[in-house]
């Protein structure tokens, strides 16, 4: 541990090996005592459990061996010279150890000591001694030494970051080379013990970290297994070299396979549904040959013939040895596929029910719309027969009745034609329609019934431009709305029964028709409920009139709405204008 070379120009005088060998053997009893103290210190080191205890034992043994007045362990901490620990003799000759870092006095002196120790790795004497005439390095004017001092470097990894500094007393025996050797041996053992404790502390810390990581890893594994169970997703790794899979517990649960370290791929192939097996084989062979990602969905047969749907996705992985591997997931999508199949079946059943409902609505609308012109035909035909059966026959009146029969027959034919167009999706034949004229015509046809029911009809027509649509269907809507108002006015007593029909421009693109009455209204039902199929407030109603009216208006590009006021019921519908300003403009 000591080297013979010294730094050039050094003021310290290391102990020369020649002079120290002369001193050896002259103090046999003292040396045996020192060896005994070293052995006792070593024994105490084995019992010390902290670095503080080791340092305290070290300083106590050193001060006892050297019979010094004070021993300090001084450390060079990044250029700062600090006293790390100190042992002193008290007045009753007891040894007192004090811990705690503090700045050292004569910092320049000890900095020179550290510089010398880092170059020579040998002890340094400061002041005069009995056998080595060594002088202090420091300037006597600034650094004075009360008594001779021995500084022994404490080596750690061939570095001297600490020195053991012993202050002698006046009655202290001369410092010899054997004492230096013993102190060096003691310091080496103390260093080893301190390093051992640090390593143990570091190992204990690492072990705690490893335990924490293992606990966290186990928790993550449990959480991952729980999440895979919840999502019905199993993970796996396939190795091409062995053609086996390493799979998670959820994967094994999906395939209903007992726990195995590695699963031959052939075992999984055997569980694939025979109808899906050829396509699965082809897709896997192509993906593996090209080393690309594959995504498959197929059926497997597990247990006692249970069929499951699984989704498989794999990604290629290649290591340094070119060993091809695939990692991926397998998801059990049986519930989703069953739900999709059930949804498709429900949609098919709903479509069938919708077709049946449409057929029923169509039949009801045919009956509803044709009933009125047929009733008119029967009534006018009977009237015609009565006029002809008189003697003499009243041919003029009979002729009027026959004309009305023809008119109602044409109306019935127009109704059939419109319904046939709707049923065949051929659309509506739209032509320019004078809306005000169509309203007046419907009012003229119903005037007789209005008079017999004592209902006062008031018309206000102010649409300057024609609308685009089917005149017969527009009049069909008007007649339905007016007849609904007439039915609502029949129970009214004690007040004037009023019916108001108005046409006006709603905005530059649409005309609006309003039918308003002061009848009994539609009760507590909502306005939108009136337009539901088969809903009616009439005892003998079919519940199709307003439904058909809304369909016709919407087919024309308009909107039909109902509104309930305090004592009035209002229906409004809009129809689009055509390009032009008047009927004459269109005809020209």
pLDDT digits (tens, 9 = 90+) for 123-169: 888 775 433 333 333 333 334 566 778 888 887 665 668 888 888 76
Cβ distance 517 to 498 under 8 Å?
yes
Which range is least confidently modeled, 58-67, 188-197, 387-396? 387-396
Condensed to tens digits (0 to 9), the pLDDT of residues 263-292 reads 888 888 899 999 999 999 999 999 988 889
Average pLDDT of the chain, as a whole number: 78
Distance between CA atoms of 48 and 418, rounded to whole angstroms?
110
In angstroms, rounded to a whole number, what is the distance separating the alpha carbons of residues 500 and 568? 11
- Report whether 23 contacts 178 (CB < 8 A): yes
Query: What pLDDT sits at residue 531?
Result: 67
Residue 330: which of 297, 306, 287 has the closest Cα?
Answer: 297
The reported pLDDT for the residue numbered 369 is: 65
The bridge status of strand 455-461 relative to strand 497-507 is: parallel
Whole-number Å distance between alpha carbons of 243 and 352: 51
For residue range 4-56, what is the model confidence (pLDDT) as tens digits? 333 333 344 443 333 333 344 444 666 788 788 888 888 888 887 888 898 89
* pLDDT-derived band at 173, boundaries 50, 70, 90: low
Distance CA(365)–CA(542), nearest Å, equals 9
Better pLDDT: 529 or 177: 177
pLDDT given for residue 130 in this prediction: 39
pLDDT at 16: 35
- pLDDT at residue 537, rounded to an integer: 58
Q: What percent of the chain has pLDDT over 70?
A: 77
Mean of the pLDDT values across residues 205-211? 91
Q: How far apart are the first and last CA of the chain?
A: 126
**What span, in angstroms and rounded, lies between the C-alpha atoms of 82 and 571?**
102
Residues 6+ apart with CB under 8 A from 437: none
Query: Using CA atoms, how far apart are residues 124 and 6, in angstroms rounded to an integer?
Result: 11
For residue 582, pLDDT over 60 is answered with no
The C-alpha atoms of residue 388 and residue 120 are separated, in whole angstroms, by 153
Higher pLDDT, 449 or 530: 449
Helix axes 395-423, 334-389, angle to 10 degrees: 170
Q: Is the pLDDT of residue 429 over 80?
A: no
pLDDT of residue 278: 92
Q: Which of 62-66, 306-310, 366-370 ranks highest by mean pLDDT?
A: 306-310
pLDDT average, residue stretch 377-404? 82
**Residue-level pLDDT at 159:** 63
CB distance 55 to 194 below 8 Å:
yes
What pLDDT was estimated at residue 297? 92
Mean pLDDT of 481-504: 84
Lowest mean pLDDT among 156-160, 251-255, 387-391, 517-521: 156-160
């Amino acid at each position: 541990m000591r080297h013979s070379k010294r730094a050039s120009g050094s003021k310290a005088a290391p102990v020369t090996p020649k002079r120290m060998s002369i001193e050896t053997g002259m103090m046999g009893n003292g040396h045996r005592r020192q060896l005994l103290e070293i052995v006792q210190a070593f024994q105490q080191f084995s019992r010390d459990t902290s670095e503080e205890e080791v340092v305290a034992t070290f300083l106590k043994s050193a001060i006892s061996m050297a019979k010094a007045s004070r021993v300090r362990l001084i450390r060079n901490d990044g250029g700062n010279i600090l006293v790390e620990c100190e042992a002193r003799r008290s007045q009753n000759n007891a040894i007192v150890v004090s811990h705690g870092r503090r700045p050292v006095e004569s910092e320049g002196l000890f900095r020179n000591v550290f510089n010398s120790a880092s170059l020579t790795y040998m002890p340094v004497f400061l002041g005069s001694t009995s056998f080595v005439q060594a002088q202090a390095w420091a300037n006597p004017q600034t650094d004075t030494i009360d008594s001779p001092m021995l500084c022994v470097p404490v080596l750690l990894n061939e570095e001297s970051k600490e020195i053991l500094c012993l202050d002698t007393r006046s009655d202290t025996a001369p410092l010899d080379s054997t004492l230096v050797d013993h102190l060096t041996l003691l310091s080496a053992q103390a260093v080893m013990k301190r390093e051992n404790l640090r390593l143990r502390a570091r190992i204990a810390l690492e072990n705690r970290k490893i335990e924490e990581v293992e606990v966290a890893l186990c928790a993550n594994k449990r959480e991952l297994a729980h999440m895979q169970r919840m999502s019905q997703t199993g993970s796996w790794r396939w190795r091409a070299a062995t053609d086996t899979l390493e799979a998670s517990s959820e994967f094994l649960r999906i395939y209903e396979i007992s726990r195995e370290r590695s699963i031959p791929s052939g075992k999984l192939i055997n569980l694939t549904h025979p109808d899906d097996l050829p396509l699965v084989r082809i897709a896997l062979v192509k993906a593996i040959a090209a080393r690309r990602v594959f995504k498959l969905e197929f059926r497997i047969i597990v247990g006692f013939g249970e069929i499951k749907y699984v989704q498989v996705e794999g990604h290629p992985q290649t290591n340094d040895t070119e060993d091809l591997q695939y990692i991926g997931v397998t998801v059990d999508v049986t519930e989703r596929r069953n739900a999709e199949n059930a949804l498709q079946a429900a949609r098919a059943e709903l479509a069938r029910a919708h077709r049946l409902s449409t057929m029923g609505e169509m039949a009801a609308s045919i009956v509803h719309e044709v009933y009125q012109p047929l009733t008119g035909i029967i009534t006018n035909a009977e009237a015609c027969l009565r006029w002809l059966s008189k003697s003499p026959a009243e041919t003029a009146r009979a002729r009027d009745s026959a004309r009305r029969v023809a008119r109602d027959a044409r109306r019935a034919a127009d109704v059939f034609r419109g319904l046939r167009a709707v049923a065949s999706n051929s659309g509506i034949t739209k032509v320019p329609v004078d809306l005000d004229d169509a309203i007046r015509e419907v009012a003229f046809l119903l005037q007789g019934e209005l008079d017999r029911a004592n209902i006062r009809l008031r018309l206000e027509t102010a649409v300057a431009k024609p609308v685009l649509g089917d005149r017969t269907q527009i009049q069909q809507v008007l007649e339905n709305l007016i007849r609904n108002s007439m039915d609502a006015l029949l129970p009214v007593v004690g007040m004037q029964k009023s019916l108001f029909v108005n046409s006006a421009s709603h905005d530059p693109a649409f005309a609006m028709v309003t039918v308003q009455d002061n009848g009994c209204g539609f009760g507590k039902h909502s306005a939108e409920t009136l337009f539901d199929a088969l809903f009616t407030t009439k005892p003998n109603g079919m519940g199709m009139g307003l439904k058909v009216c809304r369909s016709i208006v919407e087919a024309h590009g308009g909107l039909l709405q109902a509104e309930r006021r305090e004592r009035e019921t209002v229906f409004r519908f809009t129809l689009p204008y055509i390009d032009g300003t008047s009927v004459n403009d269109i005809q020209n």
